[in-house]
Amino acid sequence: MKSNRQIEHYVAPIDETPLLATDTLKVDAAPLSLWADAWRKLRRRPLFIISALMICLLLVVAFFPGLFTQTAPNDNCQLSDSLGGPSAGHPLGFTFQGCDIYSRIIHGTQASLTVGVVSVIFVLIIGVTLGALAGFFGGWIDTVIARLGDIFFALPLVLGALVVTQLPFFRENKSVFTVVMVIVMLGWPQMARITRGAVIEVRNADFVTAARSLGVSKIGTLVRHVVPNALAPIIVLATMELGVFIVTEATLSFLGIGLPGSIMSWGNDISAAKDTLRTNPEVLLYPATALSITVLSFIMLGDALRDALDPKSRKR
């Protein structure tokens, strides 16, 4: 049995419920690109600001060591100052050979950063090129590059470097160039794999299809449209790997198979100070601290870039 009774609904008068605030939207504002949006977020992150300032300081120290010390790292070494403590003009004391620790740390920045930066540049060139070709074209190109990368993936970076550096050419020609060659030889597969995945994710986008329909060649589409839109994870990985490569150089130099002893680097200084670790631990502590701060700076920068450029990793 249906009821004809109507239910009355109470509606409050508008004047009793005033609207306090409304959201505004600028319809004429241009949309932010990925890089503009990332920069807006990075500017507000203390982690990015601190790490960027630290890296800028390290670059200035590497390129202009004379601004921070006037003491030559090897010219004024006196055995009478061996393991001496801090003194006027020598704030960190002296090494076992009587060399100024502070001066060696300042001048050693150049070699350590040079190996890291140059290695990353070559890893980017090789890894991005091979990864982009594999991801965009697929087929037998992808298969060949993937299997080649698997061969190098079978060797961990440091262990593989230990093996490669024992070859006659590398053993007899220790230099910054040979260390970079070893790192690049073993470090490109990771970059290629990340690039391949990023390219595969982008290659089926609408703007790529539009470019192909307008007559743009495959190589032109890859270079002008696909790779620029796949750079976000590549940049993040490159930033983090720079710190890894610096540690790799220090490890090889510490083991005596990296940079020759005539080249000042933090790894060589740590290796030379290991014999006095029990009696004078500060001789090893200072270059180790410089190495740790440098690597931490690049890792912090990579974390900040990842949060800004990778939407999947952003914290809600």
Check pLDDT > 80 for residue 35.
no
Check pLDDT > 90 for residue 129.
yes
Q: Are 120 and 249 in contact, with CB atoms under 8 Å apart? A: no
Check pLDDT > 80 for residue 295.
yes
Check pLDDT > 80 for residue 38.
no
| Residue 152 within any structural domain of the chain | yes
Distance linking the first and last C-alpha atoms of the chain: 53
Check pLDDT > 60 for residue 28.
no
Rounded Cα distance, 219 and 129, in Å: 12
| Residue 94 within any structural domain of the chain | no
Task: Enter the pTM of the model.
Answer: 0.82
How many domains, the chain? 1
Q: Say what the pLDDT of residue 21 is.
A: 55
The residue with greater pLDDT, 61 or 261, is: 61
| Residue 16 within any structural domain of the chain | no
Coil, strand or helix: which one is 69? coil
Check pLDDT > 90 for residue 86.
no
Coil, strand or helix: which one is 87? strand
Kindly report the CATH number assigned to the domain that includes residue 171: 1.10.3720.10
Q: Say what the pLDDT of residue 9 is.
A: 63
| Residue 46 within any structural domain of the chain | no
Domain that holds residue 251: 101-311
**Nearest CA to 41 among 303, 308, 231, 299?**
308
| Residue 76 within any structural domain of the chain | no
Check pLDDT > 70 for residue 13.
no
| Residue 29 within any structural domain of the chain | no
Check pLDDT > 50 for residue 316.
no
Rounded Cα distance, 181 and 94, in Å: 33
- For residues 165-175, give the mean pLDDT: 85
| Residue 206 within any structural domain of the chain | yes
Coil, strand or helix: which one is 100? strand
Q: Are 182 and 165 in contact, with CB atoms under 8 Å apart? A: yes
| Residue 37 within any structural domain of the chain | no
